[in-house]
Amino acid sequence: MVALCGMARAQQLEPDYYIFPVKDVAGLYSSNFGEMRTNHFHSGIDIKTNGVEGKPVVATADGYISRIFQSPSGYGLALYVNHPNGTMTVYGHLQRFRSDIARYVYKERHRQKKHRVDLYLSAETFPVKQGDTIALSGNSGSSGGPHLHYEIRDLKNQKTLNIFAAGVIMPKDDIAPLIQKLHYVEVDSIGGVPRHSRITSYDLQHDGTLYTPVQTTPIKVGRKGYFIVEVSDRKNDTQNRYGVYHLEASVDGKTFYEYRNDGFTFDITRYCNSVAYYPLQRSSRNEVFRLAKEQGCIDRLYSKIVNRGVITTTEGERRTITITATDDCINTSTLEFEIIGKPDNECFHSTGITSTNIAYYNKQFNAIFEDVSVTIPSGALYESKEVEISRYTQPVKSSATRPQLSEAYVVGSKNIPLHKAMTLSFVAPATDVAARQVVIASVNNKQEMVYAGGKNQDGKVTLKTSSFGTYCLTCDTTAPTITPKFTDGADLSANKTVAFALKDDFTGVSSYSITIDGRWVAIDYARGVAAVSLVDEKIEGGTKHDITITVSDGCGNKSSWSGSFIR
């Protein structure tokens, strides 16, 4: 089978149409487009802001602000700008919006009485000209440090596009990708279930941009198998690692695998778990590409795929493999080596399936083991797998406030990714704890319970989760703690905000509200601190004000604090 669909090339971007999105920075980058992240491809570029917040962010082309987003997670404070050429630009992790935009958001938050808002606007509300300052750069949302996340999307389908590869922004880069390691896996199948040999790994050496295995003899391969390659990229003047733009592999001069990420729609972003060799990608600092397509993956991720990337050989047959890795500035490295077919008695052969728990990638899977049941929907697996369910044999760490309320069960393998969420159900325990306080926990490598979720209803505690692992029941009866970052009754006339540190020891802070003099106020919540702008809320000066905060966790345990301050 040959697939020639490709994950590219959508709208052709015009490099001269856009200007650089942030002022007063060095033009360095912490991430590029399409990097393989946990469960997603990176959808834009991350521009360094010299380690600080507050750099002016500008509209990169004429248009209008079509969407405003504010949340303590995700892109944090973000703006979306529509342009007449059919594209949208996205600016994420902002510190603050331009003053007129901020006033609009403030009014909408109060009108809706919501701290998090996602607002869609008409062209008349906030038209912008190229170069207009629209915000200041920041570190809001799920951000690990000050930077600007910047995207260009195709308005027709929200496909996010590769800014570097299209030449819209040209980073300084004359460094070719680094090909770090080569691996090989033999494959067989029985009853439609793929079986894999243990992975064999090969160290590499290089002379400039030409890589070869340290092993000088041909690599011995089985009748059928595929290669895995670990790669990373660098750019000038930074120590960051970046994703590779284009990967191509050929056997005897004929391309059998080609991957190129010019853009993608968000409905396919989770397929990165299949493009990667997931068992290694989970813990690698490199990108780990499986040079083969799994049964349940989609063709359009690949520019070309022949025989699903599986290479066949006969005993003694010699073949030449060439793998090229190209970055988004068209620097290229090449790996070349020979393979030789092993005798049949040295090849990997399936020995039969012992498990009755076969989950087919294109069928729903149901299983019950003791007090736990599992349902995996069709399309959740990238290939058919044996999914074992067993008791966890290690002691789980528990306490009087965090008891273990069920057996712990190992469900599947953490090395198997799920494309869709499975349903996990436990028989509800007999306990004096309120039903809403009984939840499902995952058990980590330190045998500690970590909140996973779940709802206790009709005699079952049920969770939808996109991860295999070890699970058990526990409960959360402890309310969040509230610590004011001021002394009760304090004079805050010199302060711009009033703030509280919020903490929950298990299920996490779920909701919060603050009233000042009985009036609802908007809260900015970030990294465990809930803050209210005394300026935006127009809190009267020279007066004592009563303040009350109420906080709930994921189980509905609630805390309140009341006090006062002078403004």
Q: Is 353 a domain residue?
A: no
Of the pLDDT bands very low, low, confident and very high (cuts 50, 70, 90), residue 350 is: confident
**CATH code, domain carrying 509:** 2.60.40.3780
pLDDT at residue 10, as a whole number = 41
pLDDT at residue 7, as a whole number = 41
Report the alpha-carbon distance of residue 141 to residue 513 in Å, rounded: 19
Instruction: Please check whether residue 438 is in contact with residue 405, taking contact to mean a CB–CB distance below 8 angstroms.
Output: yes
Of the pLDDT bands very low, low, confident and very high (cuts 50, 70, 90), residue 529 is: very high
**CATH code, domain carrying 406:** 2.60.220.30
Q: Is 186 a domain residue?
A: yes
Instruction: Tell me, yes or no, whether 551 and 534 share the same domain.
Output: yes
Q: Is 2 a domain residue?
A: no
* pLDDT surpassing 80 at residue 11: no
Cβ neighbours, 10 Å, residue 85 = 14
Cβ neighbours, 10 Å, residue 279 = 18
Instruction: Tell me, yes or no, whether 342 and 217 share the same domain.
Output: yes
* pLDDT surpassing 60 at residue 258: yes
Instruction: Tell me, yes or no, whether 144 and 192 share the same domain.
Output: no
Q: Is 34 a domain residue?
A: yes
Residue that terminates a domain, selected from 161, 194, 209? 161
pLDDT at residue 3, as a whole number = 39
Report the alpha-carbon distance of residue 47 to residue 49 in Å, rounded: 6
Report the alpha-carbon distance of residue 510 to residue 449 in Å, rounded: 19
Instruction: Tell me, yes or no, whether 527 and 547 share the same domain.
Output: yes
Q: Which residues contact 22 (CB under 8 A, 6 or more apart)?
A: 47, 49, 55, 56, 57, 58, 137, 148, 150
Instruction: Please check whether residue 323 is in contact with residue 21, taking contact to mean a CB–CB distance below 8 angstroms.
Output: no
Residue with tokens 């440090």: 145
Q: Is 253 a domain residue?
A: yes
Residue that terminates a domain, selected from 346, 369, 386? 346
Instruction: Please check whether residue 419 is in contact with residue 296, taking contact to mean a CB–CB distance below 8 angstroms.
Output: yes
Domain span including residue 381: 358-475
In sequence order, the β-bridge partners of residue 65 are 81
Report the alpha-carbon distance of residue 48 to residue 149 in Å, rounded: 9
Residue that terminates a domain, selected from 475, 499, 514? 475
* pLDDT surpassing 50 at residue 5: no
Q: Give per-residue pLDDT as tens, 50-80.
A: 999 999 999 999 999 999 999 999 999 999 9
CA distances from 313 to 17, 65, 242 (A): 51, 57, 34
Instruction: Tell me, yes or no, whether 13 and 128 share the same domain.
Output: yes
* pLDDT surpassing 50 at residue 540: yes
pLDDT at residue 12, as a whole number = 81
* pLDDT surpassing 80 at residue 46: yes
Of the pLDDT bands very low, low, confident and very high (cuts 50, 70, 90), residue 354 is: low
pLDDT at residue 418, as a whole number = 99
Instruction: Tell me, yes or no, whether 445 and 507 share the same domain.
Output: no
| Assigned token pair, 228 | 């895995």
Angle at 55 between CA 49 and CA 58, to 5 degrees: 110
Q: Is 257 a domain residue?
A: yes
* pLDDT surpassing 50 at residue 4: no
How many angstroms separate the most distant Cα atoms in the chain? 90
* pLDDT surpassing 60 at residue 39: yes
**Residue among 550, 455, 450, 463 at smallest CA distance from 506:** 450
Question: What amino acid is encoded at 440 in this protein?
Answer: I
Report the alpha-carbon distance of residue 542 to residue 482 in Å, rounded: 26
| Assigned token pair, 320 | 């030449």
Instruction: Tell me, yes or no, whether 327 and 372 share the same domain.
Output: no
Instruction: Tell me, yes or no, whether 461 and 491 share the same domain.
Output: no
Instruction: Tell me, yes or no, whether 155 and 199 share the same domain.
Output: no
Instruction: Tell me, yes or no, whether 513 and 466 share the same domain.
Output: no
Report the alpha-carbon distance of residue 407 to residue 394 in Å, rounded: 11
Q: Count of domains in the chain? A: 4
**CATH code, domain carrying 318:** 2.70.50
Q: Is 169 a domain residue?
A: no
Q: Is 351 a domain residue?
A: no
Instruction: Tell me, yes or no, whether 450 and 523 share the same domain.
Output: no
Q: Reduced to 3 DSSP states, what percent helix, strand and coil does the chain have, rounded to the nearest 5?
A: 10, 45, 45
| Assigned token pair, 453 | 């979720």
Instruction: Please check whether residue 317 is in contact with residue 15, taking contact to mean a CB–CB distance below 8 angstroms.
Output: no
User: Do the bridges between strand 210-213 and strand 332-341 make them parallel or antiparallel, or are there none, so unpaired?
Assistant: parallel
Report the alpha-carbon distance of residue 103 to residue 14 in Å, rounded: 34
The mean of the pLDDT values for the chain is 96
Instruction: Tell me, yes or no, whether 56 and 130 share the same domain.
Output: yes
Of the pLDDT bands very low, low, confident and very high (cuts 50, 70, 90), residue 353 is: low
Tell me the pTM: 0.94
* CB-based burial label for 189 (10 Å; 0-12, 13-18, 19+): middle
Report the alpha-carbon distance of residue 203 to residue 390 in Å, rounded: 36
